[in-house]
Structure 1
């Protein structure tokens, strides 16, 4: 695409995809996650940021229909939320082991399935796309599945050198974060009494967080001609692009500090 890459900060990060228990009201599960469960995660040492991304209950897929690409989110695999963590260093994962044990035991109280994806520092990037004082009003979280025959290195290069600069160059984003994932392994987050089924043809290989000023700017972006050209390019590298409408992004740890109240 040939667009100049914007400035970014590297982060060592993880994303845990979450599905709420279905034997309880979804709202009750979401409230437990943002209440008692959040306190367990927030207390883990070595966190730079802990954000809960709550996804809207109705999510069929915001990305425009693209030939050869799955843009409609399958109802049976529709995610309810994502716990997104950025660590202060690669050693922070070890520092949080004891606190993680508490999180493992508590998952059964709210979740039925959890899947962890990990992004190395150079694979997880936060881009400087907003001016000082600009706030994010709405967000869209996009998950991408690599097309068969495309190598991991080629896919990451596309995300970093083509997709991210093109998105930043659109001039409408107030937040842009990309994360290319290490190959998924159940062993990274094999919590008890919770499902971790993740068939190879359902796995993801990257995510992109898009932030907009408001719903109008978001809708205009997804209806623009620019995204049509981007979709055609995406189809060469991705077999699925699932774009989720975010209902809330709640931050509990920011710049390494536990917040007294979460921020939206």
Structure 2
């Protein structure tokens, strides 16, 4: 597995995406909450006008952190902040969120049925980027979701530039990824998603500033990636910019709205 940069310019699609980090209720079985999210709650979100895509990312219950120990970086995911899932909501335009306000109110009211904490991370238009890294006929059989926390003293613009111009080419250059999506976030504001009866506590030292979705052929390829020498070089590039790298094992990525259309059944 090499780290040579891709020889051709990466093709990329730029989007407006919001990600909602989710923690299911603990007063009922975890799977009960995940099933409700997959079922009744997904129908509410899917019906929101102006969506380009709606995808649920389900995370494994046992998630200590896939990224190996790195000096000066938090790679072990704290149990009390371990995420259960993420809702990826991609809009057709910058005005689309305004058209979906009525449906959003229904989502607000329904959250208490399944979640105990929700945190919305938003970015400006075009800050969500989907890179074309898969070859013809290649599919994704396993994924990892990585959250990055910007190191104190690193500016937001400097951090975004690093993700775009250094980290993405390095990841693509490994040649093993079948999916690569990145998001860089605006400063977190609770009022953007202040749903009733659900916690939104997010201490400043726990904020995230970017996320990566990494897709692989299968779980063996994913395991090989995180135990390979390439991780050492990636870590050396990340350490000056990131104080935390939380890499989650993804158990499912379920798409409910695709290319602006509500699917009759989610796609995996």
Compute the TM-score of the two structures, normalised by the length of structure 2. 0.97
Give the aligned partner of residue 142 of structure 1. 146
Matched positions, count = 264
Work out whether 1:27 is the aligned partner of 2:36: no
Q: How does 1:48-197 map to 2 (within 5 A)?
A: 48-197=52-201
> How far has the Cα of 1:121 moved from its partner?
2.6
Write the deviation string for residues 108-136 of structure 1: whole angstroms up to 9, x where unpaired: 00000000001223321000001232110
Structure 1's unaligned 5+ residue stretches are: none
CA distance in 2, matches of 1:121, 1:209: 18
Structure 2's unaligned 5+ residue stretches are: none
Q: How does 1:162-241 map to 2 (within 5 A)?
A: 162-241=166-245
Query: In 1, are the aligned partners of 2:4 and 2:173 still within 8 Å (CA)?
Result: no
CA distance in 1, matches of 2:98, 2:245: 33
Query: In 2, are the aligned partners of 1:2 and 1:162 still within 8 Å (CA)?
Result: no
Structure 1 residue runs of 4+, over 2 Å off? 1-5
Compute the TM-score of the two structures, normalised by the length of structure 1. 0.98
Query: In 2, are the aligned partners of 1:6 and 1:127 still within 8 Å (CA)?
Result: yes
CA distance in 2, matches of 1:70, 1:128: 30
> How far has the Cα of 1:6 moved from its partner?
1.4
> How far has the Cα of 1:2 moved from its partner?
8.9
Deviates more, 1:137-146 or 1:122-131: 122-131
CA distance in 2, matches of 1:171, 1:2: 9
CA distance in 1, matches of 2:267, 2:243: 34
CA RMSD, aligned part only? 1.1
CA distance in 2, matches of 1:116, 1:87: 15
> Which of 16, 20, 27 does residue 16 from structure 1 map onto?
20
